[in-house]
Amino acid sequence: MVIGRELASTLGVKIKDEVVLASLKQQKLSITIQPKYKRFRVTGIFETGFNEYDATLVYIAMPVAQDLFKLDGLVTDLQVKVTDVYRSREIARRIEEHIGQPYYAVDWSERHKNLFSWMTLEKYGMALILGLIVVVAAFGIVSTLVMLVLQKRQEIAILKSMGATQQQVMRIFVIQGTLLGIVGTVVGTCIGFLACWLQQEFHLVSIPSEIYFINTLPIDMRFHEFVLIAVSSVLISFLATLYPSRRASRLFPSDILRHG
């Protein structure tokens, strides 16, 4: 017998321990239920990371299971592995049409419908939170450049009095703000990549499997998403520089030098 880790922990068993399974299937031509017992020795403990499986499943030889549950050589369930998981619903419908009633086919998305609905809601919530973080970061760049413009009013006035055009002054602050965004993006991307890799390899962040069905935070690292996020961050940084840069370029040197 091979048993799930959570179930083994609940039962307090380990490898080479004995476990007794009982079948309560009713005997034919009998009004009583006579349980049938069979002893098994635990030969292995598996862990899928999915609490629903690790806490409920054991594996035994099929002929032994058929005898224990009085199935007369039959099975209660068949599982089909497909090459394209996104066509599983279509394949399930075709299987149902082929085998007919009273049999039915359930694909992985239907079997765990509640879990995937929860994950979809969490994805939207996470996108909202990340969006708010980006907005706050953009306002941070804007406020930093506005403060810089206020602090450098004298220098801006001197530059303009020496012949600097509005476009040249604006370009100075656009470049400075964009460089600030690029540095932050590079540092943040490197830290994010390292954190994702560490979680993927060593599972540093654990979550309660009783609530989330899995015991560790899953990570799926995609290079194109890192690139997309980095480019988007730099673009947002650039857009955030336009208002303070335009404000700096419109300062009148005569007013600044007169009033200090």
pLDDT at 55: 92
pLDDT at 225: 92
Query: pTM for this structure?
Result: 0.71
CA dist 144 and 245 (Å) reads: 11
Mean pLDDT over 72-93 rounds to 92
What's the pLDDT tens digit per position in 220-258?
899 999 999 999 999 999 999 999 999 999 988 887 777
Mean pLDDT of the chain: 89
Q: 18-32, 57-71, 181-195, 206-220 — which is least confidently predicted? A: 18-32
What's the pLDDT tens digit per position in 197-227?
999 999 899 888 777 777 888 888 999 999 9
Q: pLDDT higher for 10 or 33?
A: 10
Q: Is residue 118 predicted with pLDDT exceeding 60? A: yes
pLDDT at 114: 82
CA dist 230 and 216 (Å) reads: 26
Q: Is residue 140 predicted with pLDDT exceeding 60? A: yes
Domain extent listing, the chain: 2-77, 80-111, 113-259
pLDDT at 28: 59
pLDDT at 260: 60
Two tokens at 242?
A: 């336009």
pLDDT band at 128 (very low <50, low <70, confident <90, very high): very high
pLDDT band at 126 (very low <50, low <70, confident <90, very high): confident
Residue 180 near residue 141 (C-beta atoms within 8 A): yes
